[in-house]
Amino acid sequence: MTAIPKVLTIAGSDSGGGAGIQADLKTLTSLNVYGSSVLTSLTSQNTLGVDAIHNVPTDFVQKQLDAVLSDIGTDAIKTGMLASGAIVQAVVDTLKKYNHDKLVVDPVMISTSGSKLLAEDAVQTCIDSLLPITLVLTPNVPEAEVLLGMSSGSIKTLDDMRTAAKKLADLGPRNVLVKGGHLPVERNGEKYVVDVLYEKKTGEYHEIENPYRDTKDTHGTGCTLSAAIAAGLAQGNDVVMAVKKATIYIQDAINASHASIGKGAGPVNHLHNIHLRPYACKSYVQALKESLPDGVWDEFIDHPFVRGMADGTLPRESFIFYIKQDYLYLQHYARSAALAAYKSPDIDMAARNAKIVLHIQHEMQMHLKYCESWGISKEDILATPESVYNVAYTRYVLDKGATGDQLDLQVAMAPCLLGYGEIGVKLYNDPNTKREGNPYWTWIKNYAEDDFQDAVRNGKALLEELAIHHVSTSPSRFKETCEIFEQATRLEIKFWEMGLHRK
């Protein structure tokens, strides 16, 4: 089994969920990276600001670090809010002990809402102890000015950002990303954000440009970007590629930001790149049935034709008409299963569909024996013209198989298999179903027996397997198959109508 990449985030908690540890873990999860965490501080905050901070005791921060790194380990580490000089030093001392070199440092000092998150003494400790072991430093413009001891507003241009990046690299970081969100650049009448990445080893500058979006909903952008960079490093990307991927991720997260959350600076959407399974928390088969309009499935399995078989009152002529048409139907159902075998991508799936053909052949032999007990010969059945309802249903199924993929075909076939299996068990177990003297009791027993129920279970398993490959992350594809299922279910209802009214 391939090991999932791991990232450890060392940061504060944001009770509002938009920044800090919460933002980091959401980001890592959405990028398919396992996230572990060490809490440095608890903040009471929302989109309007921070109203209280409670720092975690330094020795407990160290215990958390040892607990994670001694057991789970990590492929990359990011730091966010470190709160105090003592916590910064404890983090540095512990990381040196475990010798991890992929460290991303987001020098969190001021929140989006303007609250101070780093003590004065901690800034110098960061410069003296943390920056020398840093692989990637990710300050915004105000943070770069603080780290360099510059007055606010000193960095005004792209050239200033380049100069600041190099000066920061001289303090120890091997790579410095100065983020340009505070200094949008206008080009050809459009505003852009330009982030400057400086590689100390090569002396190269990389300018990463993205459209600027004028929005207040940027809470947690720094945390999210640094977490995404750490995720890229953990996945094996080099620094430049990890940074480029992360800037795309954060840009998309901003564009999909949650404007409806809170009254102030809302959070970005960390989960913008996750496509939820359209049938989450349920099986695909259950989701298909639940997608039907209210009452349609019940109309199928509790049709007057079915109830007439249950209590033995169904007119004999209706059942004879139905059983003849059902034999003809099964011939086309077998052709559909054979088509599914042809459309199978490998021999195993082809064999599973071939077994369905053989099961249908067995079912048809039961039909013939059953018909004989009603005085109907095979010749009588084959001489029977197909009802237009039969033609409509069977050709619909075959058409879905011919024009669609295997899932389309299996879904079109599914109401028959699922419905008859459900009807057989339901009537068999219903104490109100007439047994003695009921001419249809043998039919009911046939569909309740293990042989047919095994076929139902196998059919369900095949549908679930196909759904994983074809619809598990596509709402539009799921909707298409639901429409096929509904049409086939309605055609099943019409099949009962055909038998009941003998037309």
Q: Which two tokens stand for residue 328?
A: 């003809």
Q: State the catalytic residue, choosing from 6, 26, 102, 179.
A: 179
Distance CA 179, CA 194 (A): 7
Which domains, ranges and CATH numbers included, belong to the chain?
Answer: 6-256 (3.40.1190.20), 284-501 (1.20.910.10)
Catalytic annotation on 459? no
Q: How far is CA 102 from its chain centroid?
A: 29
Out of 125, 218, 394, 433, the active site residue is 218
Quick count: other Cβ atoms within 10 Å of Cβ 152? 9
pTM for the full predicted model: 0.74
The per-residue pLDDT string of the chain (503 residues; one tens digit each, 9 = 90 and over) reads: 568 999 999 999 999 999 999 999 999 999 999 999 999 999 999 988 888 999 999 999 999 999 999 999 999 999 999 989 999 999 999 999 998 889 999 998 766 555 566 777 788 999 999 999 999 999 999 999 999 999 988 999 999 999 999 999 999 999 999 999 888 888 888 888 999 999 999 999 999 998 888 888 888 899 999 999 999 999 999 999 999 999 999 999 988 887 788 888 888 889 888 877 788 889 999 999 999 999 999 999 999 999 999 999 999 999 999 999 999 999 999 999 999 999 988 999 899 888 888 888 888 888 888 888 888 888 988 999 999 999 999 999 999 999 999 999 999 999 999 999 999 999 999 999 999 999 999 999 989 999 899 999 999 999 999 998 888 778 899 999 999 999 999 999 999 999 999 98
Task: Tell me if residue 221 is catalytic.
Answer: yes
User: Which is the catalytic residue, given 35, 220, 419, 424?
Assistant: 220
Crossing angle of helices 406-429 and 284-291, in 10° steps, is 80
Q: At what angle do helices 406-429 and 475-501 cross, to 10 degrees?
A: 50
Which member of 223, 371, 416, 482 is catalytic? 223
215: left (phi over 0), alpha (psi -120 to 50) or beta: beta
223 catalytic per annotation: yes
Q: What are the φ/ψ torsions at residue 73 (nearest 5 degrees)?
A: 75, -175
Q: Which of 148, 81, 152 is nearest to 116 (CA)?
A: 81
Question: Radius of gyration (Cα) for the chain, nearest Å?
Answer: 33
What one-character-per-residue DSSP string does 161-224 give? HHHHHHHHHTTS-SEEEEB-TTS-EEETTEEEEEEEEEETTTTEEEEEEEE----S--BTHHHH
